[in-house]
Amino acid sequence: MPYFHIALKEIKELLRDKKNLVLNILFPLIIIIVIGSISGISGAVIKNKNQNEKITLAVNSVSLKNMLKGLPDSYTIVEKSKDDIVKEVKVNNFKLGVIWDDSNQNITFIENESNKDDPYIKIIKDNIVRVTRLAITPNINLANVHIDSIVVKKDYSTIVLKSIATICAYVIMLLVMRINNSNAYYLTTKEKLSGTLEILLISPVKSFQIVLGKWISNFASCYLITIAIFLPLYTGFALLFQVFLKVDINLFSKIPILALVLFGFAIVFSLFQLLLGFASKSSKQAQVFLVYVPLLLVIPLTLVFASDLRALNIYSKVIYWLDFIPIINFYDLIQMSIFSIFSLKKVLLIIMTNIFIVSIFVVSLVRIFNNERILFFKN
């Protein structure tokens, strides 16, 4: 297996630089603390600001939604199932839930325990009852609407999970894209500069085997860095919320599936880095490609991250544009793993897009190695 010996040689080369190895482990830990703290604080501030804009009411039927059109414009009416209403009120995404039983003309209010004594909530309930009575019998003899109320205990676990899933997915991918660049540079540009690549190419080893060997070595480096970032960050969250704050969420059981997802991410991204390094026509261009091209992927990722921090609600299983972009759609897969909410369509889409891009990368690299111009750099 020549590709295995090539991979082993490259890994030994990476391990020789102790300074580089230390920076790849310590630097992520410092950045994690900074980014995680800022993201958590900014997300909480943004969420609190948005809550004051409009009052969101959740209803269980179209008929009730139509009846509540008589409410002022400051109300937003959202139609949901009864179970979804209870879940959303628990995490305080909805100010109030309203369940309407048309046959018995009965209204049941779903309230959050933290809001039940709020006088403003009482005014909202009175307005809903008044508008409903007017809608049923628009005359002086108003209908008698039965009123019940269910108080649900506030549930912080969903908000906590969303915060952990959002911050972990973004920070892991951002830092891996940045930190493994030096190792990829060693495996590509440095070997071209030193002339050892020429010896490798004149050997009887096939181009595909060279690509595979280098891919394995860069993957090992990329995955090691990914795990080095993931484990302290995720374990810190788990200890904070489960052990110290006593929030009822089981985070440690999700580590195996998350390690598998990050395994897939490292496979694809490590190959992408090799392509960038070997496609470069000069040493300076290689540095630009390896540093700045991955940051282009971070731009859409940051937009999604910012919107996720604004929402901090239950994870959506709906397919959207991020799922069609290879490499960074692992962000969605990490979140699904932490939530333990998997959408088969989303998972298949993410897997297929990355398999497709991997095949393109491999073919491109083999073609590069079959061309003698790979040995030469521009001055």
The domain locations on the chain are 2-45+158-375, 54-90+92-154
Nearest C-alpha neighbor of 231 from the set 15, 38, 32, 34: 32
Q: Cα–Cα distance between 138 and 158 in angstroms, integer?
A: 42
Q: Cα–Cα distance between 286 and 277 in angstroms, integer?
A: 5
- HEC readout, 265-298: HHHHHHHHHHHHHHHCCCHHHHHHHHHHHHHHHH
pTM for the complete prediction? 0.68
Report pLDDT for 49.
43
Report pLDDT for 44.
44
Dihedral over alpha carbons 209, 212, 218, 223 (to 10 degrees): -150
DSSP 205: -
Most distant CA pair in the chain: distance in Å? 97
Topology, domain 54-90+92-154: D-Maltodextrin-Binding Protein; domain 2 (3.40.190)
Report pLDDT for 105.
77
Tens of each residue's pLDDT in the chain, 379 residues: 676 666 676 666 656 665 555 555 555 555 555 555 554 444 444 444 444 456 778 888 888 788 777 777 767 888 888 888 887 777 677 778 888 887 777 888 888 776 767 777 788 888 888 888 777 765 444 455 556 666 666 666 777 888 888 888 988 898 888 888 888 888 888 877 777 777 777 778 888 888 898 899 999 989 998 998 898 888 888 888 877 777 778 888 899 999 999 999 999 999 999 999 888 888 888 888 888 888 888 888 888 888 887 776 666 777 888 899 999 999 999 999 988 888 899 999 999 999 999 999 999 999 988 887 777 665 5
348-354-358 Cα angle (round to 5): 145
Report pLDDT for 153.
63
Q: For residue 106, list its beta bridge partners.
A: 101, 146
Report pLDDT for 29.
53
CA distances from 363 to 5, 221, 264, 360, 370 (A): 22, 22, 19, 5, 11
Q: Cα–Cα distance between 375 and 379 in angstroms, integer?
A: 13
Neighbours of 42 (CB within 10 A): 13
Report pLDDT for 161.
83
